[in-house]
């Protein structure tokens, strides 16, 4: 007797479950990792991605590439998420976290195929992760002392930059980044480091402006008559439109006689002139506003040898505020000397094909601007991303002053310690621990692979050295050999590694714990369902 | 080439898709990608190669609208070519960047980058890691820059004659080389009058370049003052004013209007009359105010109607209307005037002065322009370009821009090297010498860099119709023998190879920039090993 089938889900719904589901998820994650695998390390290569609008991006940053790949496969997006979280949390190591996670997945695949219950794996992996973190804590080296701290920051920044496009200039940029971060106040707000990109010029013409710099705003006639050079500057920061305009938008006047006409016009002018006069009386000699400053005001200021610029970006104003003090005013009625920002020098200068305004020697000096130069737009964009990574690293390292050696050294050491620990565990969990330990070796292996070195050979040497107790030996890419990376100054903040290990393990557990995916069909109006074959 | 990511099958044999629209993407990886990029970039460089040097030929570019551009300026050619390929676009940006920063040498930088890529292809074929090649190039670039510094000469910026010679080198390869000397002088004088020598700053916004079809290139002049493409508002106003007092107004000659929305109800004829009367009165007061201030010429940013025009004429007040904002600004600077936003604020102190204001007419054409000369402040100047057709004028303008940039760079940094490929050759010799001292694979990249540097004198020789290999090997031998780094390709057949004698001068800044920019871009191109591009053929739209 045939029973009618029970239809549970709408037709077309994709429903996958069981062991196969986990395996195919693992495969998908590996595809994602494969696409950024080759960017790892100083010999890592870049990816060029052209999106559907024709925008070209050239990048080496794992998070950026994954974002641009536009991944739709549900489980694979976990990989994108961990890269993003690493980016948000520490800003660097986005590629290594993905590579690490995918390697862990690869190592558990045989277990799943053999029928081990995912929960068992998850449990022992979580435990192993905790163990790894505690080893990391033992291994990390605290840095203290003013001078040592700075050196440490520079080295960490240089390590990050060594895998980027700007690697040839890494010392130059590393110092620049550290100087930039050092100007900030306690909370190290990222927004106080302005990054301005100017096409043209050479990379090492980039400079750090201890103060604020921004591109000359759109100007009205009269602007060129204003002085462009001041010392002992008092800056009025406004959020006021200094333009002749209707004071009330939806008011309508009914005039009875023609004489009233003149009176109304005069009144309007006077409103503006009063504002201008008040600003001038306050002693300010540079007037900046977020809103437009009209031609009348421009000429009025020019007449009084004052400088003005309208339509300044909010970020720039905020940085000026942090650098020069004062406050942003929304009315001029109470303007006086106290609310003005003060800085030592103001000038306008040609940078590339643009004219830039510079504010330097600021009274509070808690903001700075990096002025980047470079040959092509994509080039500077990538430099900006690289510097962003370096800035994030320095910020994190400043708060967490402990480091580990990079270049695969720390991974090899953790792997060794976990392996030793595994031997003390009875039962089949031992295999899981060993697998977890093995997966750390992917980082040095991938580094070798990208550099065109013999991975097996180098890895053997590394294992040998670590077994002998040389806990900081890693790959020295430039000499293409094995060496002590602590002495070679390949340093990374330990927080990067800690976060990477946690994130990768969590991603692994997440993927393992999914045993069913139900994908609903989209309503026809919603367009084509991505990921559904044959539609 | 279907890579693994293109199509995957799960356990049930169904394909599954990881990335959105991945079936519409082209993907290229590994050495194949690097090679295809090199090919694309070299193709672009090949186009420009024949434009290099004084005997370089021009390119004619027709835009989709049928506009014709004839130029041998690298940056302009690249821009107008509308390059589609993503890597070739990097080369376009490269020349644009050189243009933005230096303004000259836009062709050379692309040719050099092309040559570097050509050399690196050979190295990659031998199995050298692209990054290794790039590293080697970087090292070699540093050496080359050092050499450049070593062979550079200080340049006397005060010496006008020498500046003119430098400008001539830049103009030598352009369409204007017929009247090279004259253009060079114009460029030098223009820059010197606006330059701030102490701060080493030149504001190009103070140099206005105007063009007008007609006349010969030789008729091009530098006006110490402003030329605006406007005429007196009334045909009967005087065509020439001496010792004019200029009032610059940004308010219209019309009854003032409040910005607030308003409405005036006219209910009777008397009211209407009154309004009429009021308007006339305002005109009269305005004109009176201008007159009272002592102005003899009114320049208005806005227009005025025929009635105002007539009143102005009746009151003997010449006026110009609809003058644009930037011109107003330049005028104000040149004449020392203040821009006046309201009639009531007009005073004598705010007026500017100009020795001569005249309308100039051209040939039989009815076109006229207003020239304001003999201004008290020559911080603002105008270069007035004449030429047979629009294309010539545009090209002449570009050539002038290049020359202006060269002079500006000299003001900024007064060091120079000699042209004609001599500097490149000297660097090539030094780099090749250094290569032998280097351990490791970088040595190959070093040599390749030296070879690539030689491509510039090579292209020069080729474009000049010389036997390139002969000429180059000859020069190289001579340079090594005599230790004279000033020997270059004698492209104009002046009889000597010594560029110092030929007075072929280029700025150090520009050369340095060329070499380091080219190296940077080459590094960027070599570093890419994975490309994802939307596939136009397969994409549904």
User: Chain A window 126-145: which residues touch B at a Cβ cutoff of 8 Å?
Assistant: none
Say yes or no to pLDDT of A145 above 70.
yes
Binned at pLDDT 50, 70 and 90, residue B20 comes out as: low
Residue (of B492, B472, B384, B355) closest to B425 by Cα position = B472
The pLDDT value given to residue A393: 85
Average pLDDT over residues B152-159: 80
A255–B96 C-beta distance less than 8 A: no
pLDDT-derived band at A247 (thresholds 50, 70, 90) equals low
**Per the CB < 8 Å rule, is B20 touching A72?**
yes
Q: B53: which DSSP letter? A: S
Mean predicted confidence (pLDDT) in A482-506: 89
- Asked if the Cβ–Cβ distance from B10 to A221 is below 8 Å, we say no
In chain A, positions 183-212, which contact chain B (CB-CB < 8 Å)? 199-203
Among residues A39, A64, A95, A160, the one annotated as catalytic is A95
Residue with the larger pLDDT of the pair A416 and A351? A416
User: By CA distance, what is B11's nearest residue in A?
Assistant: A20
Tell whether B259 lies on the interface with A, counting CB pairs under 8 A. Answer: yes
Distance from CA of A135 to the nearest CA of B (A): 35
- State the smallest CA–CA distance between residue A23 and chain B in angstroms: 8
Task: Give SS3 for A200.
Answer: strand
Q: Calculate the average pLDDT of chain A.
A: 84
Cβ-defined contact of B86 to A56 (cutoff 8 Å): yes
Can you give the pLDDT at residue B7? 54
The answer to whether B203 faces chain A, any CB pair under 8 Å, is: yes
Per-residue confidence at A501, pLDDT binned at 50, 70, 90?
Answer: very high
Q: Supply the pLDDT for residue B541.
A: 37
Q: A31 CA to chain B: closest CA distance, Å? A: 6
pLDDT in the model for residue A126: 92
In this prediction, residue A206 carries a pLDDT of: 86
- The pLDDT assigned to A298 comes to 86
Query: Is A61 a catalytic site residue?
Result: yes
Q: Which two tokens stand for residue B423?
A: 């500097």
**Residue A133 scores a pLDDT above 90:** yes
> Minimal Cα–Cα distance from A398 to chain B, Å?
31
Percentage of chain A exceeding pLDDT 90: 15
Question: CB-side exposure of A74: number of CA atoms within 13 Å?
Answer: 17
Whether residue B18 lies within 8 A of chain A, CB to CB, comes out as: yes
Using a CB-CB cut-off of 8 Å, the residues of chain A touching B93 are: 199, 375-379
Chain A closest CA to B456's CA: distance in Å?
20
Q: Which of A133-137, A476-480, B480-484 has the highest mean pLDDT?
A: A133-137
Q: For the ranges A126-140, A274-288, B339-353, which has the lowest average pLDDT?
A: B339-353
Is the pLDDT score of B449 beyond 90?
Answer: yes
pLDDT in the model for residue B57: 84
Using CA atoms, how far apart are residues B157 and A271, in angstroms rounded to an integer?
A: 51
Structure confidence by residue, pLDDT tens digits, A408-440: 899 999 999 999 999 998 888 899 999 999 999
**Is B19's CB within 8 Å of A531's CB?**
no
Which B-chain residues 483-512 have CB contacts (< 8 A) with chain A? 512
- Indicate yes or no: CB of B258 within 8 angstroms of CB of A264: yes
Q: Is the minimum CB–CB distance between A23 and chain B shorter than 8 Å?
A: yes
For residue A19, count other CB atoms closer than 10 A to its CB.
13
Res B540 pLDDT > 50:
no
CB within 8 Å of chain A, chain B residues 119-158: 129-131, 135, 138
Query: Is some CB atom of chain B closer than 8 A to the CB atom of A300?
Result: yes
Of all residues in chain A, the one with the smallest CA distance to B255 is A262
What is the percent of chain B where pLDDT is above 70?
Answer: 94
Rg (CA), chain A: 30
Taking an 8 Å cut-off on Cβ atoms, the answer to whether B531 and A50 are in contact is yes
Chain B residues with CB inside 8 Å of A76's CB?
18
Show Cβ contacts of residue B424 under 8 Å, excluding neighbours closer than 6 positions.
B453, B454, B456, B457
d(CA A402, CA A149): 10
Q: Is A402 in contact with A81 (CB distance < 8 Å)?
A: no
Element spanning B246, H or E: strand B240-249
Q: How far is A94 from chain B (nearest CA, A)?
A: 18
Which residues of chain A are within 8 Å of residue B540 when distances are taken between CB atoms?
Answer: none
Residue A255 to residue B257: CA distance in whole angstroms: 12
Per-residue pLDDT tens digits for B288-306: 888 888 888 888 888 777 8
A257 chain-B contacts, CB cut-off 8 A: 274
Instruction: List, for residues B46-55, the tens digit of each pLDDT value.
Output: 888 888 877 8
For chain A, give percent helix, strand, coil, nearest 5. Answer: 50, 20, 30
Q: What is the pLDDT of residues A73-89, one digit of tens each?
A: 878 888 888 888 888 88
Position A186 pLDDT exceeds 80: no
Out of A28-37, B373-382, B449-458, least confident range: B373-382
Residue B22 in this model has a pLDDT that exceeds 50: yes
Q: What is the C-alpha to C-alpha distance for residues B136 and B127, in angstroms, rounded to an integer?
A: 15
B521/A352 Cβ within 8 A: no
Residue B21 has a pLDDT of: 62
**pLDDT above 80 (res A503):** yes
Residues of B in contact with A32 (CB under 8 A): 18
The tens digit of pLDDT for each residue in B386-436 reads 888 888 888 888 888 888 888 888 888 888 888 888 888 999 999 998 888
Asked if A76 and B20 count as a contact pair (C-beta separation under 8 A), the reply is no
Interface of A with B in 227-246 (CB under 8 A): 229, 244-246
Is B219 in the A-facing interface, judged by CB distances under 8 Å? no
**Token output for A458:** 């180098």
pLDDT surpasses 70 at A535: no
Q: Do A45 and B528 touch (CB under 8 A)?
A: yes
What digits encode the pLDDT tens for the residues A214-226? 888 777 777 777 8
First to last CA, chain A: 35
Q: What angle do CA B315, B321, B324 make, to 5 degrees?
A: 150
**Would you place residue B113 in the very low, low, confident or very high pLDDT band (cuts 50, 70, 90)?**
very high
Contact yes or no for B96 and A47 at CB 8 A: no
Would you name the residues of B annotated as active-site residues?
73, 106-107, 402
Contact B342 A269 (CB under 8 A): yes
pLDDT at B523: 87
Tell which of A201, A221, A226, A299 to mutate to test the B interface (max B CBs under 10 Å). A221
Backbone phi, psi, residue A362, to 5°: -75, 155
Task: Name every chain B residue with its beta carbon within 8 A of the beta carbon of A246.
Answer: 258-261
What is residue A129's predicted lDDT score, i.e. its pLDDT? Answer: 93
Q: For residue B97, give every residue at least 6 positions away whose Cβ sits within 8 Å of its Cβ, in sequence order, or none.
A: A199, A200, A201, A374, A375, A376, B517
A94 is catalytic: yes
Can you give the pTM of this predicted structure? 0.81
């Amino acid at each position: 007797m045939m029973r009618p089938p029970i239809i549970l889900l709408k037709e077309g719904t994709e429903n996958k479950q069981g062991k196969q589901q986990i395996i195919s998820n693992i495969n998908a994650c590996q595809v994602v990792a494969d696409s950024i695998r080759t960017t790892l390390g100083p010999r890592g290569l870049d990816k060029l991605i052209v999106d559907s609008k024709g925008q070209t991006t050239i990048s080496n940053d794992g998070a950026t590439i994954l974002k641009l790949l536009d991944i739709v496969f549900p489980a694979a997006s976990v990989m994108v998420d961990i890269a993003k979280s690493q980016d948000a949390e520490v800003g660097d190591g986005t590629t290594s976290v993905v590579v690490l996670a995918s390697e862990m997945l690869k190592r558990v695949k045989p277990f799943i195929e053999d029928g081990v219950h995912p929960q068992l794996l998850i449990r022992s992996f979580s435990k192993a992760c905790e163990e790894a973190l505690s080893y990391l804590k033992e291994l990390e080296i605290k840095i203290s002392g003013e001078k040592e701290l700075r050196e440490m920051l520079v080295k960490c920044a240089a390590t990050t930059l060594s895998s980027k496009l700007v690697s040839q200039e890494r010392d130059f940029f590393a110092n620049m980044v550290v100087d930039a971060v050092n100007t900030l106040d306690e909370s190290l707000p990222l927004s106080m480091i302005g990054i301005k990109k100017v096409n043209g010029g050479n990379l090492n013409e980039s400079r750090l402006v201890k103060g604020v710099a921004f591109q000359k705003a759109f100007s009205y006639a009269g602007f060129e008559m204003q002085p462009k050079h001041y010392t002992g500057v008092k800056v009025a920061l406004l959020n006021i439109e200094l333009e002749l305009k209707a004071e009330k938008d939806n008011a309508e006047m009914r005039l009875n006689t023609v004489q009233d006409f003149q009176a109304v016009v005069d009144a309007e002018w006077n409103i503006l002139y009063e504002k201008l006069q008040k600003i001038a009386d306050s002693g300010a000699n540079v007037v900046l506003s977020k809103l437009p400053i009209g031609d009348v005001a421009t000429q009025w200021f020019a007449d009084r040898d004052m400088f003005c610029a309208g339509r300044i970006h909010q970020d720039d104003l905020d940085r000026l505020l942090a650098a020069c003090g004062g406050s942003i005013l929304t009315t001029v009625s109470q303007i006086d000397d106290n609310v003005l920002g003060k800085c030592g020098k103001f000038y306008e200068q040609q940078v590339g094909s643009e004219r830039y305004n510079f504010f330097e020697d600021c009274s509070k000096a808690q903001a700075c601007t990096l002025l980047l130069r470079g040959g092509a737009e994509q080039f500077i964009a990538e430099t900006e991303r690289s510097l962003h990574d370096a800035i994030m690293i320095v910020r994190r390292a400043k708060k967490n002053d402990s480091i580990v050696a990079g270049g695969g050294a720390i991974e090899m050491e953790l792997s060794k310690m976990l392996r030793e620990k595994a031997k003390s565990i009875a039962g089949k969990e031992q295999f899981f621990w060993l697998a977890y330990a093995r997966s750390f070796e992917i980082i040095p292996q991938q580094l070798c692979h990208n550099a065109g070195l013999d991975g097996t050979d180098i890895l053997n040497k590394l294992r040998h050295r670590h077994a002998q107790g040389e806990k900081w030996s890693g790959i020295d890419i430039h000499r293409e050999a094995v060496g002590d990376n602590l002495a070679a100054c390949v340093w990374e903040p330990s927080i990067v590694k800690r976060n990477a290990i946690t994130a990768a393990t969590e991603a692994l557990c997440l993927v393992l714990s999914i045993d069913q995916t139900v994908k609903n069909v989209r309503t026809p109006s919603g367009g084509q369902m991505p990921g559904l074959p044959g539609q | 080439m279907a890579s693994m990511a293109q199509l995957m099958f799960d356990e049930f044999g169904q394909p599954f898709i990881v990335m959105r629209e991945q079936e519409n993407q082209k993907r290229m990886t590994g050495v194949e990608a690097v090679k295809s990029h090199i090919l694309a970039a070299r193709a672009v460089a090949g186009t420009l190669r024949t434009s290099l040097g004084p005997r370089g030929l021009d390119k004619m570019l027709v835009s989709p609208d049928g506009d014709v551009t004839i130029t041998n300026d690298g940056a302009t050619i690249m821009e107008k070519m509308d390059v589609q390929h993503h890597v070739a676009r990097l080369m376009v940006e490269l020349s644009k960047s050189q243009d933005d920063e230096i303004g000259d040498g836009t062709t050379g930088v692309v040719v050099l980058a092309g040559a570097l890529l050509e050399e690196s292809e050979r190295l990659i074929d031998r199995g050298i890691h692209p990054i290794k090649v790039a590293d080697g190039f970087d090292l070699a670039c540093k050496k080359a820059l050092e050499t450049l510094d070593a062979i550079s000469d200080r340049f006397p910026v005060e010496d006008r004659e020498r500046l003119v010679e430098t400008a001539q080198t830049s103009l030598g390869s352009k369409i204007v080389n017929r009247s090279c000397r004259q253009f060079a002088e114009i460029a030098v004088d223009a820059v010197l009058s606006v330059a701030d020598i102490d701060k080493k700053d030149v504001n190009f916004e103070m140099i206005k370049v105007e063009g007008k079809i007609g006349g010969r290139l030789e008729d091009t002049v530098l006006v110490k003052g402003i030329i605006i493409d406007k005429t007196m508002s009334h045909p009967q106003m005087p065509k020439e004013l001496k010792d004019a007092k200029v009032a610059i107004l940004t308010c219209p000659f019309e009854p003032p209007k409040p910005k607030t929305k308003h409405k005036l109800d006219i209910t009777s004829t008397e009211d209407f009359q009154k309004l009429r009367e009021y308007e006339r009165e305002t005109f009269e007061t305005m004109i009176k105010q201008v007159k009272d201030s002592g102005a003899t010429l009114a320049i208005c940013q806005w227009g005025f109607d025929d009635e105002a025009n007539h009143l102005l004429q009746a009151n003997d007040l010449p006026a110009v209307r609809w003058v644009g904002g930037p011109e107003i600004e330049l005028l104000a600077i040149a004449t020392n005037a203040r821009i006046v936003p309201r009639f009531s604020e007009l005073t004598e102190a705010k007026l500017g002065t100009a020795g001569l204001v005249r309308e100039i007419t051209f040939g039989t054409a009815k076109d006229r322009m207003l020239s304001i000369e003999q201004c008290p402040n020559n911080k603002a100047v105008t270069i007035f370009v004449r030429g047979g057709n629009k294309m010539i004028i545009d090209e002449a303008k570009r050539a002038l821009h290049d020359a202006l940039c060269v002079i500006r760079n000299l003001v900024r940094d007064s060091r120079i090297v000699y042209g004609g490929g001599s500097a490149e050759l000297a660097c090539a010799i030094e780099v090749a010498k250094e290569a032998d001292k280097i351990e490791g694979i970088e040595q190959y990249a070093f040599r390749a860099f030296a070879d690539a540097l030689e491509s510039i004198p090579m292209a020069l020789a080729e474009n000049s119709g010389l036997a390139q290999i002969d000429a180059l090997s000859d020069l190289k031998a001579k340079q090594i023998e005599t230790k004279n780094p000033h020997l270059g390709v004698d492209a104009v057949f002046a009889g000597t190879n010594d560029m110092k004698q030929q007075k072929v001068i280029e700025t150090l800044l520009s050369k340095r920039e060329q070499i380091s920019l080219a190296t940077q871009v080459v590094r960027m191109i070599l570093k890419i090993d994975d490309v994802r591009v939307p596939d136009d053929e397969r994409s549904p739209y």
